[in-house]
Amino acid sequence: MLKWEYITTPLLLHKETAILNTWGSEGWELVQIVANNMGGNIAFFKRPIAEESK
C-alpha cells in the first residue's frame, strides 16, 4: 500500500515561486494553498514514502 508523508510551509510574499520550486525539486507535490488567519499563505505538500525492502 502506498503511504504518504506531508509537510506545510509558509509562502513568503514575492518568494512563492522559489519556495514551490524548491519543495518540488525534492519530490514534494503541492496539494493546496490556504490563506493563513494571521496573513499570508500556507502551502500543503505530500510525497510518497519509499517502501521498506523486506
What is the pLDDT, as a whole number, of residue 27?
A: 96
pLDDT < 50: residue spans in the chain: none
Which distant-in-sequence residues (6+ apart) come within 8 Å of 49 by Cβ? 3, 4, 5
Q: State the Cα–Cα distance between residues 54 and 35, nearest whole angstrom.
A: 42
What is the pLDDT, as a whole number, of residue 20?
A: 96
This prediction has a pTM of: 0.83
What is the pLDDT, as a whole number, of residue 53?
A: 57
Whether 17 and 33 have beta carbons less than 8 Å apart is answered as no
What is the pLDDT, as a whole number, of residue 34?
A: 96
